[in-house]
Amino acid sequence: MQLLMMIHGLLLLVLLSATEAAVSPTSHAKPGCPDSCGNLSIPYPFGTRKGCYLNESFLITCNHSTNTPFLQYGDIQVLNISLDGQLRIFSWLARDCYDKYGWLQQSSQYAWHFLSIFTISWSRNNFVAVGCDALAWVIGSLGQGSATGCLSLCNTMDSVVNGSCSGIGCCQTSIPKGVRDFNISVTSFKNHTNILDFNPCSYAFVVEDGMYNFSSLDFVNLRNKERFPVVLDWAIGDTTCEEARKNRTAYACKENSMCLDSDNEPAGYRCYCSSGYKGNPYLSNSCQDVNECEDPSLNKCVFAKNCVNTEGNYACFCPKGYRGDGLREGGTGCTAEDTAEDKQSLKTKAIIGSSFAISLLFVIMACALCGIQRRKINELKQKNFRDNGGPVLRQLLSKIERSAEKAKIFTEDELKKATNNFNESEIVGRGGFGIVYKGTLNNKLVAIKKSRVMDHDQIEQFVNEVFVLSQIKHPNVVKLIGCCLETSVPLLVYEFIINKTLHHHIHNEVSGSSMPWKTRLKIAVETADALAHMHSDAPIHIIHRDVKSENILLNDDFQAKVSDFGVSRLVPLDQTQLPTLVQGTFGYIDPEYFHSGLLNEKSDVYSFGVVLLELLTGEKALSSDRPDKDKSLAAFFISSMKEDRLFEILHERVRNEGNQEQIKGVAELARRCLRFKGVKRPTMKEVKMELEELMIGKCLHVEVRTDFEETEPLLGPPTNFCSTSVSIGPDSTKYQAALQLESGR
């Protein structure tokens, strides 16, 4: 009896241990290592002691007396660590305070932050300054050169608006890319002595987007505030996924995982569990299959119990007495089979009326064929979705927490409904690269672009491009709303710009004569701002490759919107120029790119220079009405500048309304953009800054050059003026011309 009781006790102990192991959550820390500090969960590659982290940069120091975690050996408190590549910390606030006589009373004008390898998230934080006499800036240390800042002023409290950070009492700006160790600084112009409602302090801080809402009470309350939450980006190493895979021993992504390049600077990569798996992709055998059948929200089976889990996926089936594939969405579902009574009734009806039975048979056959056809169509849609990179894009979009930033993946049926089944009456643009339809989604007008061809070898680049373009937050770039991947060629959905193109407003006989000089100059500044953003500030640098007045759309307020990224190229961080098939539009193509086939950001600068000429002269980029040597607007402009005939070729409104020094400044800037050698052209950021200074009248006396140190050959027009777009390869002997798309995207 005593032996039986001992055996029973041992069995009970084993059962309790197994139950405890079954219900305990899976740790994301390295085996044998602490997985938390206070309330913070610490997943590998992070760790609190040697052997528990990937390298020294991922060390989390835990103050065990207060259960408070810090970055490495510093004083920056860690709030949260996400395996998606984000890390939240507390960031210090900078301030300076004065008395009514202008004497400094309290100051911590500088706040230094040392972040090791981590980078401030450029898309999830803002830089804020608060005060009525505040000039603040944040700058990357260690010679990084990334900096931004803003100015906040106000004379009385009545001028301050709660919730607004537009520069009166509070100002706000975005964070540059690539900022690691950084310093926040704040100062004042007149030590707060010129403010009628005296407010003694100025403040500056970096804060997570959505975690700060300005109030006039903050002029006092922030005096006791020490820190704000900030989101950091982290990645593995300083190489891309492709380079990291070459060194298998150092490659951090383990079994059942995928690798994606970091969207911040400098380079690095992150690992994610593949679709259908969950766990820690940095630990061996951690990404385990998800049992979709246990959670009805993870599967699309009609009956929850008729679900079979498979490795990385699941399958549905119908119960006895039903037929179909068991899917409630995207499939045939489950339909009850005919009963014996129904069959007997059918036989009776067939005997009574053979003609009716034959007709019914034909109907059944037709329905069956329709069902088979529908299933084939659904299978084809699913195949197209997979072939066009749908699963990878869906995985990428799921990493974006804020739904407002996500590009949506539409079904083909949704876009058919939006365009009345792609009715020809909804076509707003047609050309060699595709067709653009006008449609309505959620009571909003959209432009739906359907390309003619798709290179399926570039699917990974296409998916990455959609992911990047959907996150571009710039007022002068047409916003990508989403895409449809169920068709053989992906469809792209953009916001619809209703006021036609800049080309229409310049060259239309009525609109062209009615556009004032100030409007033309504003459009030039906004277009330059958009191109400068794509060249240097976007998540991945983009060369547009087809800058022209037809691809600059205007809204009701004549705000410029750069559009049509159909031939654009993404520039790897380690390359300054790309060997490509020459594409673009005659009259706008960079001659150096045309002759060498090497694409770089200065190619867009040349094309923008031609757009400046259109705004100045009202002339088309190519025209058969001009003499042979001047058919190219660039050639016509250069020859006119050499002959000191600038003001003779200007558009009448430009000549009558514009300030002569201002016009000379724009013309001289256009001439520099049109230099044959790309290295001698300014960058788009420099072009934008010069145009902004010219627009506000901040320009010195400008001498328009009529003597040129170099002969700059310009790309002449094609002999056939019906073809305005070109695609020319280094080994090609023929122009492959195609009419360029003019649309309402």
Q: What is the pLDDT of residues 153-188, one digit of tens each?
A: 888 888 899 999 999 999 999 988 888 878 888 888
By DSSP bridging, strand 307-310 and strand 480-484 are unpaired
pLDDT over 90 (residue 208): yes
- Count of structural domains within the chain: 5
- Say if residues 450 and 491 touch (Cβ distance below 8 Å): yes
- Say if residues 722 and 532 touch (Cβ distance below 8 Å): no
- Diameter of the chain by CA atoms? 118
CA–CA gap between residue 96 and residue 75 (Å, rounded): 22
Q: Which amino acid is residue 548, in one-letter code?
A: K
List, in sequence order, every beta strand (DSSP E) within 195-282: 201-208, 227-233, 257-261, 269-273, 277-278
Q: What is the CB neighbour count within 10 angstroms for residue 81?
A: 22
Is residue 370 in a domain? Answer: no
My answer on whether 470 and 586 are in the same domain is: no
My answer on whether 534 and 657 are in the same domain is: yes
CA–CA gap between residue 588 and residue 603 (Å, rounded): 9
pLDDT over 60 (residue 281): yes
- Does residue 546 carry a catalytic annotation? yes
CA–CA gap between residue 661 and residue 650 (Å, rounded): 14
Task: Please indicate whether residue 735 or residue 622 has the higher confidence score (pLDDT).
Answer: 622
* Angle separating helix axes 660-673 and 601-617, nearest 10 degrees: 140
Total residue count of the chain as it appears in this document: 745
pLDDT over 70 (residue 720): no
Q: Which of 646, 701, 702, 647 is nearest to 669 (CA)?
A: 702
Tokens representing residue 666 in the block: 């724009």
Choosing from 496, 515, 532, the residue where a domain stops is 496
Choosing from 463, 496, 529, the residue where a domain stops is 496
My answer on whether 637 and 727 are in the same domain is: yes
Is residue 6 in a domain? Answer: no
Contacts of 345 (CB under 8 A, 6+ apart): none
CA–CA gap between residue 422 and residue 389 (Å, rounded): 23
pLDDT at 23: 32
Is residue 73 in a domain? Answer: yes
Q: Which residues pair with 229 in a beta bridge?
A: 90
Contacts of 652 (CB under 8 A, 6+ apart): 513, 618
CA–CA gap between residue 317 and residue 130 (Å, rounded): 61
Is residue 3 in a domain? Answer: no
How far is the CA of 445 from the CAs of 42, 403, 744, in angstroms? 46, 20, 10
Is residue 269 in a domain? Answer: no
Q: Which of 666, 670, 587, 596 is nearest to 633 (CA)?
A: 587
- Say if residues 606 and 673 touch (Cβ distance below 8 Å): yes
My answer on whether 583 and 664 are in the same domain is: yes
By DSSP bridging, strand 480-484 and strand 408-410 are parallel
pLDDT at 510: 67
Q: How confident is the model at residue 17 (pLDDT cuts 50, 70, 90)?
A: very low
H-assigned helices in 54-99:
none
Q: What is the CB neighbour count within 10 angstroms for residue 285?
A: 9
3-class state of residue 458 by DSSP: helix
Mean pLDDT, residues 595-611 taken together:
91
3-class state of residue 138 by DSSP: strand
My answer on whether 536 and 548 are in the same domain is: yes
CA–CA gap between residue 605 and residue 593 (Å, rounded): 12
Radius of gyration of the chain from its Cα atoms, rounded to whole angstroms:
32
My answer on whether 483 and 530 are in the same domain is: no
Mean pLDDT, residues 142-151 taken together:
71
What's the pTM value of the predicted model, to 2 decimals?
Answer: 0.48
Mean pLDDT of the chain: 81
Is residue 255 in a domain? Answer: no
Is residue 67 in a domain? Answer: yes
pLDDT digits (tens, 9 = 90+) for 55-72: 888 999 999 889 999 998
Identify the CATH number of the domain in which residue 712 sits.
1.10.510.10
CA–CA gap between residue 632 and residue 646 (Å, rounded): 16
pLDDT digits (tens, 9 = 90+) for 638-697: 999 999 999 999 999 999 998 999 999 999 999 999 999 999 999 999 999 999 999 988
pLDDT over 90 (residue 124): yes
How far is the CA of 531 from the CAs of 578, 606, 685, in angstroms? 18, 12, 8
Q: What is the CB neighbour count within 10 angstroms for residue 401?
A: 11
My answer on whether 70 and 137 are in the same domain is: no
My answer on whether 516 and 546 are in the same domain is: yes
CA–CA gap between residue 430 and residue 437 (Å, rounded): 9
CA–CA gap between residue 114 and residue 140 (Å, rounded): 10
Mean pLDDT, residues 216-233 taken together:
90
- The residue behind tokens 């259960």 is 67
Is residue 426 in a domain? Answer: yes
Residue 649 phi/psi, 5-degree rounding, is: -95, 0
CA–CA gap between residue 466 and residue 463 (Å, rounded): 5
Q: Of 233, 261, 529, 546, which residue is the catalytic one?
A: 546
* Angle separating helix axes 633-642 and 601-617, nearest 10 degrees: 70
pLDDT at 669: 96
CA–CA gap between residue 705 and residue 713 (Å, rounded): 17
pLDDT over 70 (residue 101): yes
Q: How confident is the model at residue 358 (pLDDT cuts 50, 70, 90)?
A: confident
Q: Residue 340 has what DSSP assignment?
A: H
Choosing from 496, 525, 543, the residue where a domain stops is 496
My answer on whether 78 and 105 are in the same domain is: no
Which of 1-5, 100-104, 328-332, 618-622 is most confident? 618-622
My answer on whether 541 and 667 are in the same domain is: yes
My answer on whether 662 and 720 are in the same domain is: yes
CA–CA gap between residue 617 and residue 252 (Å, rounded): 57
Half-sphere exposure in the Cβ direction for 524 (13 Å, CA)? 33
pLDDT at 307: 92
Residue 280 — left, alpha, or beta (φ > 0 → left; ψ -120 to 50 → alpha)?
beta
CA–CA gap between residue 95 and residue 106 (Å, rounded): 8
- Say if residues 316 and 334 touch (Cβ distance below 8 Å): no
My answer on whether 470 and 518 are in the same domain is: no
Q: Which residues pair with 277 in a beta bridge?
A: 289
Which strand (E) or helix (H) includes residue 174? strand 170-174
pLDDT at 226: 86
Domain encompassing residue 323: 290-344
Binding residue per annotation — 450? yes
pLDDT at 726: 43
Identify the CATH number of the domain in which residue 429 sits.
3.30.200.20
Q: How confident is the model at residue 4 (pLDDT cuts 50, 70, 90)?
A: very low
- Say if residues 615 and 520 touch (Cβ distance below 8 Å): yes
pLDDT digits (tens, 9 = 90+) for 722-736: 334 444 333 322 222
